């Protein structure tokens, strides 16, 4: 009996879970490295050379060139091997490939395994959040999201950071939190899944706008104004879609927005900055080997804003640049021509 009790306690201890992270980009690899300090962790990558590099040299030089990964972190290119015995699956997959990977793993995953998204985007065809896709493709699997101001290279370099694990089921959320928290990487919990996911997706569009201003040579005052008014837009749409206002004032909203809009490591700000310098979107995307989610999310956000009657002038100008061929200079001119009124009013 003592042995049975001990075995049950081990299974219920999150540190004895088997965790699989799908996606070997900078953030997926970083999360896998963090979790590997707490639990048995496997990383799934498509590229066989990258998997061999992780297993042999404990590095992922394409995405994290200066980082050393834990020796305990293993990698595989087999989705079946990665998922079949996993107790938790973490999806470090870009939003537009998210559904396909879920469909591919559906026959391998065991029942009731939590699925946690790292993606900060919206599906173009359906306007769905990633946890909505999880619920549709894998009904019965508790969905969640890990989000916040988390720049992968800083975290891998040992800098302090904070994140939010959001799930509707607070019991499972609190149980899983220690799996992700590691050293100076602090993890908070939130049951506002809608607000946390939308904060991560919507801020990317504002970061493109900030980057465009930086590329055009706008100053700190302009950057602060775009960030602040951008937060107002994010909050308006997020609340209209069911998120709580206070969520957008926290790590998943304001925190993520500040980091993404000000860091040279931000992919979305990088896209905006190069647009501001007159480069074409096609050229910028071709030069990047990582996804800037804001480019894909912009048309989805504008569609939702129109349907709900939510005014989003900054997002509208970004949409015109990335979808309609407008220039960053014309976009900023449009924002400057806008009328002003009470700060509490839209626009």
Residue-by-residue pLDDT tens, the chain, 347 positions:
344 434 444 455 666 899 999 999 999 999 999 999 999 999 999 999 999 999 999 999 999 998 999 999 999 999 999 999 999 999 999 999 999 999 999 999 999 999 999 999 999 999 999 999 999 999 999 999 999 999 999 999 999 999 999 999 999 999 999 999 998 999 999 999 999 999 999 999 999 999 999 999 988 999 999 999 999 999 999 999 999 999 999 999 999 999 999 999 999 999 999 999 999 988 898 888 677 788 889 999 999 999 999 999 999 999 999 988 899 888 877 776 666 656 666 65
Residues contacting 55, CB < 8 A, separation 6+: 74, 75
Question: How far is it, in rounded angstroms, from Cα 263 to Cα 154?
Answer: 11
* Collapsed DSSP state (helix, strand, coil) of residue 77: coil
Total Cβ atoms within 10 A of residue 190: 23
What's the pLDDT score for residue 209?
94
What's the pLDDT score for residue 316?
94
**Partners of 163 in the beta sheet?**
187
**Partners of 145 in the beta sheet?**
117, 166
Total Cβ atoms within 10 A of residue 58: 17
Q: Look-up: residue for tokens 């989705």? A: 79
Signed CA dihedral, 318, 320, 326, 329: sign only: negative
Signed CA dihedral, 186, 192, 193, 199: sign only: negative
Q: Based on the residue annotation, tell me whether 203 is a catalytic residue of this protein.
A: yes
Residues contacting 7, CB < 8 A, separation 6+: none
Question: How far is it, in rounded angstroms, from Cα 347 to Cα 340?
Answer: 8
What's the pLDDT score for residue 4?
45
Burial 103-112 (b: 16+ CB within 10 A, else e): eebeebbeee
Nearest Cα to 198, choosing from 252, 245, 159, 135? Answer: 252
- Backbone dihedral region of 4: left (phi > 0), alpha (psi from -120 to 50 degrees) or beta? alpha
What's the pLDDT score for residue 6?
42
pTM of the predicted structure, to 2 decimals = 0.91
Separation of CA 46 from chain center? 20
Domains of the chain, with CATH numbers?
2-191 (3.40.50.720), 195-336 (1.10.1040.10)
One of 100, 120, 203, 277 is an active-site residue; which one? 203
Backbone angles phi and psi of 186, in degrees to 5: -95, 135
What's the pLDDT score for residue 66?
87
């Amino acid at each position: 009996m003592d042995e049975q009790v001990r075995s049950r306690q081990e299974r219920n201890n999150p540190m004895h879970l088997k965790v699989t992270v799908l996606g070997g980009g900078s953030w997926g690899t970083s999360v896998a490295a963090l979790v590997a300090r707490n639990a048995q962790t496997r990383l799934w990558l498509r590229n066989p050379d990258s998997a061999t590099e992780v297993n042999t040299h404990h590095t992922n030089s394409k995405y994290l060139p200066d980082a050393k990964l834990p020796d305990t972190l293993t990698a595989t290119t087999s989705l079946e091997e990665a998922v079949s015995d996993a107790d938790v699956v973490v999806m470090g997959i870009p939003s537009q490939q998210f559904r396909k990977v879920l469909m591919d793993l559906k026959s391998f995953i065991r029942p009731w395994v939590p699925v946690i998204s790292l993606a900060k985007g919206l599906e173009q065809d359906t306007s769905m959040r990633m946890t909505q896709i999880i619920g549709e493709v894998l009904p019965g699997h508790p969905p969640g999201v890990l989000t916040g101001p988390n720049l992968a290279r800083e975290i891998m370099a040992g800098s302090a950071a904070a994140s939010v694990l959001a799930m509707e089921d607070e019991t499972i959320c609190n149980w899983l939190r220690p799996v992700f928290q590691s050293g100076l990487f602090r993890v908070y919990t939130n049951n506002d899944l809608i607000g946390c996911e939308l904060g991560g997706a919507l801020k990317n569009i504002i970061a493109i706008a900030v980057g465009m201003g930086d590329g055009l040579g706008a100053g700190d005052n302009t950057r602060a104004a775009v960030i602040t008014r951008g937060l107002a837009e994010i909050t308006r749409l997020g609340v209209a879609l069911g998120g709580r206002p206070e969520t957008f004032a926290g790590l998943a909203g304001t925190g993520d927005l500040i980091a993404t809009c000000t860091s040279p490591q931000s992919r979305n700000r990088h896209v905006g900055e190069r647009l501001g310098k007159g480069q074409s979107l096609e050229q910028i995307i071709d030069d990047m080997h990582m996804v800037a989610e804001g480019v894909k999310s912009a048309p989805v956000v504008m569609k939702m804003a129109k349907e709900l009657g939510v005014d989003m002038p900054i997002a509208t100008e970004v949409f015109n640049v990335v979808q309609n061929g407008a220039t960053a200079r014309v976009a900023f001119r449009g924002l400057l021509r806008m009328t002003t009124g009470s700060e509490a009013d839209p626009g």
